[in-house]
Amino acid sequence: MTTVLGISAFFHDSAACLVRDGVVVAAASEERFTRRKGDAAFPAEAAAWCLKVGGLTANALDAVAFYEKPIQHLDRLFESWLYTAPRGWRAFLKGGPLWAREKLDLDGAIRRGLGGYQGKLLWCEHHESHAASAFYPSPFERAAVLTIDGVGEWATATMGIGHGPSLQLTHELRYPDSLGLLYSACTYQAGFKVNSGEYKLMGLAPYGTPRFVNTILEHLVDVRDDGSFRLHLEPFSFVDGLTMTNARFDALFEGPPRAPESPITARDKDLAASVQAVTEMIVQRMVRTVTREQACRNLCLAGGVALNAVANGTLRRDKLVDNLWVQPAAGDAGGALGAALLAWHRWFGGARTANGTTDGMQGALLGPQFSDDEIEAALTADGAQFERLGRAGVVQRTAEWLANGRIVGWFDGAMEFGPRALGARSILADPRPADMQQRLNAHIKLREGFRPFAPVVLADRAADYFEHIQGDESPYMLQVVPVRREAPSLPAITHHDGSARVQTVTAARTPGLHAVLTAFAERTRCPVLVNTSFNIRGEPVVHTPSQAFACLMRTEIDALAIGPYFVERASQPLLGDARWHITLEPD
């Protein structure tokens, strides 16, 4: 058996993934272990956990695959600094020493991080790692592949074709022309954090009017019919400075960046709506090009821009593809998975089998899980009062509480890999009450009131509530589609423009969540629940039973359903304990 450990690290969202004979054995982001959101450090804890699951030491691996080529990355940085000199001097003074101190000896850093690894170390290109993460786990024997993000070494977007075990990238767009960086610049201007706030901008867009579209197309980006484009760099500062935009950008968009945490203005909403519209236009043009060039209407997507579920939803709505598969860990964390799979198929000549229906991500439930004994020991150590109901009893109690308007933290089985809560580390709620979105944002998630919530729906009932979804076509919550107007009102999951980011659920992939939905539907005749990630603002999703209990105690979640145990918040003797005090981290 051939075993490869994939690693992504040193930019943001570091992760590790273990692949054995082409099968994903384990995958996790470092942030879940260290509790530092978006942790960029070497994923020592995630890698150690992957090796533990595989029953291996590092030196028993056949190879370690890193998700990008650092020398090419450094080449881009130095060329950018030299090209923009003397303006780029400040960026060089900040970035140069960092590279000299931490990134020039990545070979040594990786080997030390794995406790003295002495074996084969393979270097993959950034966008090939994304492409591999998109195609190899997909259910397709043959598919067009499109990757779009901020930037890798030089590429910012690539197109290609996957067929069997073969993957070939045929086109690329190069830095500084980047759709991801355009979106991040507008994220920065709207007052959100780059590399984590882009999803907020997407959620804000329906509240605005796209009145800046012409300004963007005239002054920021020159878009061609095939989806390629050139950025006009004068209003941007990401090449030669320490910010994303400058005074020219301010003049185009009615003022400077919004101060973080200050009130959101109509300008911010309109900028969000405008860049979202331009993003959808560019993505659609790229998709038309890659499906035409490759003569294939199966499409696989990855890269940070592939997390733009609104753009993804337009591809099915406008019938640009016959079949769409998006890597659930589409950002840099998924590069670890892609690098490991690329090494298996390309370096080791591994075979690949696709059946056309089932993907290789195992529902993205690839992370740590805890036995009933481990859960009980953790709850006891934390001083929790709990009932042991058995798993069937927990399902029924959870459905009963949800039907009565209560909010339940749901902790079940292996943790998700990727940014979405898919039924292992989720907060669940009834989507029907008019005040549920406000309750969740203000008292549970502790975040901005405009932020939408996603629905999870029984796959065989999805078409009754949502357009453009038939059966189990959105298992990873990566497509936004219209809510059917004739469907019963579900205000907690219906966004301002009448859309929703849908997750479909089957018993085969997510049996626990499917059982809760079924029991809830039996009580209410509604096969839909709110599903949001089990965390509060600024923190990673909970990993351990103790973290789940702490989140229960620190918020107004009514109960925690965890394995065979049910924990009622109101029954806890430690509610006033100082350890539940919250200090929110900026996100």
- Residues marked as catalytic: 12
Q: In 10 A of CB 177, how many CB atoms?
A: 18
Task: Give the distance, in angstroms, between the CA of residue 323 and the centroid of all CA atoms in the same chain.
Answer: 21
d(CA 160, CA 16): 25
- Which of 65, 67, 62, 58 has its CA nearest to residue 40? 67
Residues contacting 390, CB < 8 A, separation 6+: 564
Question: What element of type H or E holds 530?
Answer: strand 528-533
- Side chain identity at residue 424, one-letter code: A
d(CA 14, CA 7): 7
**Residue holding tokens 């056949």?**
62
Task: Give the distance, in angstroms, between the CA of residue 295 and the centroid of all CA atoms in the same chain.
Answer: 29
- Which of 445, 469, 443, 446 has its CA nearest to residue 456? 469
- Side chain identity at residue 489, one-letter code: S
Q: Is the peptide bond before 210 cis (omega within 30 degrees of 0)?
A: no
Could you give the C-alpha distances from 163 to 251, 279, 300, 419, 465, in angstroms and in order?
Answer: 48, 28, 12, 28, 35
Could you give the C-alpha distances from 457 to 365, 422, 504, in angstroms and in order?
Answer: 18, 11, 5
Could you give the C-alpha distances from 466 to 180, 383, 470, 495, in angstroms and in order?
Answer: 28, 43, 9, 13
**Using an 8 Å Cβ cutoff, are 279 and 212 in contact?**
no
- Which of 69, 290, 270, 254 has its CA nearest to residue 161? 290
CA dihedral sign of residues 513, 514, 520, 521 = positive
Q: In 10 A of CB 224, how many CB atoms?
A: 11
**Using an 8 Å Cβ cutoff, are 512 and 456 in contact?**
no
d(CA 410, CA 513): 9
**Residue holding tokens 């509480």?**
401
d(CA 495, CA 17): 35
Residue 497, both tokens = 């423009």
Task: Give the distance, in angstroms, between the CA of residue 85 and the centroid of all CA atoms in the same chain.
Answer: 36
**Using an 8 Å Cβ cutoff, are 362 and 416 in contact?**
no
CA atoms within 13 A on the CB side of 241: 12
**Using an 8 Å Cβ cutoff, are 90 and 241 in contact?**
yes
